[in-house]
Chains A and B, each alone.
Chain A
Amino acid sequence: MSLAYVSKLVQSLTSEKNVLLCMSRGLGLLRVIETYLCSLGEGVHILLNFTKHELCELETKLVVKDLSDCSPQTRVKNYRKGGLIYVTGRTITVDLLEQKLNPSEIKTLVVNSPEKLASAAHERFVLELMKQAQSISCLKLFSERPELLKSRILEEFEIQKVVCGSRQDSWISEELSNLPGVWVKETVAVCSRTQRINNMLLEMIKECISEIKRTLKVTCS
């Protein structure tokens, strides 16, 4: 059964050109990406920064061409055919520069986990090439680690809209309120000595942190 918040999030992606979708972790980001990719029409849609595992998950529902290990000829052939194409950032950059693919032919650029990207990564290069070619394609960024997203990423990708899907949002939490048939919560009892060791170790961590702060002259609220 597909969840309503997934479709709602996907719908809100279409209003602007450069959109970042940021969700609470564990709410099914890959499901949202999958639904979004399903909604795309014909043309070349480039998928970047996906792990092999994530790609396998997508491939169970969609036809995604993984061109990361293909020859240049195969890549050119597949660019011409269009569809959902996964390549590495480096490969697509070189292919665009070598005119194996015209930047204006890219309809959508989907970047997963932008928080993992280094500054001036290939993904940013691809965007620059698309801009230079005056491409009207869309850029969609998907992340479920909001705490790691820095303003640098928003600036570099010139994000026009951030779509948030927080677990605390009522339209999401209502849907997730279905509890399992039986849910037993039990507290694990630890002996006093274990607790003492635990407290000692935690104290030592705090001691280290205080020492670091003292050395670096950092203030923490």
Chain B
Amino acid sequence: MLYFSKLRILFITLFSVLFILIASSNLFKFDDNFFDKKINLGLDLQGGSYLLLEIDNEPVIEQKLQNLTTTIRNYFKEKNIKINNIKIENQNIFFNVIENDKQSVLDVFQDENSDLNPYYPRFKSHQLEIEDTGLNFKVNFSRQGLIKLKTSSQDQAIEIVRRRVDEVGTNEPNILKRGNNRILVELPGLDDPMRIKSLLGKTANLTFRFVTNDENDRFGVEKLKFENGLEEATVSKRIIISGENLLDAQPKMDTQANQTIVSFTLDRVGAKRFGKATSTGIGKQLAIVLDGKIISAPVVRDTIASGSGQISGGFTFQTATDLALLLRSGALPAPLEIIEERTVGPDLGQDSINAGMIALAIGFMLVIIFMFVKYKIFGLITNVTLIVNLFILLGVLTLFEATLTLPGIAGIILTVGMAVDANVLIFERIKEELKDETNNILAFDGGYTKSRTAILDANITTLLAAIILFFMGSGPVKGFAVTLGVGIFTTLFSVYFIARLFTSIYVSRNKNKEKLI
């Protein structure tokens, strides 16, 4: 156990120096082309905002089922099968057909090549499930169908969220999927997430629809409130143009009326429809509806064929900018709800870093003094090892660009406290060996060999706890698991290579010394 070959010594030295260099790259700036890795600071240390959004898929499902009823009706019409009493209840479509048609309806739904009911061979499942309840058919989304629907609305939503966050222009946002109906948004450096929160909270579903007094409008009507929440208007359900038809939207100052407006440009289809509607609807009120609320309902005075127009509605410059941003980035497929928010101001983050560093320095000093007083020369060896260990730990974290959090710093301090354990186990064992062994070298050898199982077991148990924490914990706690877990490996390395190297050098020079430890 005490012999080290020259090659091995070289390897240990190089390895330690390499990691010390890597670790110090966090303090001194190296050439970026040469090495540009850094430990990331968690949101709790650099300040920033963590938002967990949940997609409310209910309206999407409702909408899809609504569309399906039409599709089903038309599909079977072509096949000369009449669908009766079709209705939606609790996310199920119910309908019935005459007895003779029953089998052909079932066949269509259960056909693997059906274009009405797509089949997913990978999951051996259709999009829709059909059940003959005797009285009527019950159609609903299968488990896979629902998952497909959720993931596709998540894909769309994350795209829109990204666009909106990018437009606001925060630095290095982190936008990730969580499960199949959640989106995680991390915004470093942002201490007031108010604006982003209100932007993400809006679906931004824009429609242009005529105000009508005709209750028997062919498309149906609905009563909608104005933004101010006071007035109401009856609006046709017929959509002239929607947000999808927008090419661009920008806030502008209308110098004539001296108010802020949002001007927009329409795509070809939108321009055509808008032109037609404004030519036939002169004198009527055109309601501009955003997320079920009327922004304004101007009277159409002229045919607008240019494909551009403007929205006014008593905006401030800020609200006009935000509305333009929302319109540019597109509508969310479903409403988002912020179900978890954690925001840390940058000065608290800096305070936490300072406190963590002071605690680390003091903890480190206390342990070092304790070890030196207790073990003298071997304490010194342990302390040097401890310092190298700390650097290697920081080096590994840098290499993997791990995220350091406040609990993560606590994990490092704890590692310092527990890292001495392995050395203490060895030294205590050597002391025992020296009681009946006069040969120093043999005693040291025995000390290392006999303490090995205890050290291994002890570290594996801590590692198990760290692994569970890593997989079950979230955010800052995960940072703790990382430093604790990595700390175990670096500790074992420094105890078995660095400390042992020093010990071996010292012991072979003092072979015959009595009371060595």
Q: Do A and B bind each other?
A: no
Point out residues on B near A: beta carbons under 8 Å.
none
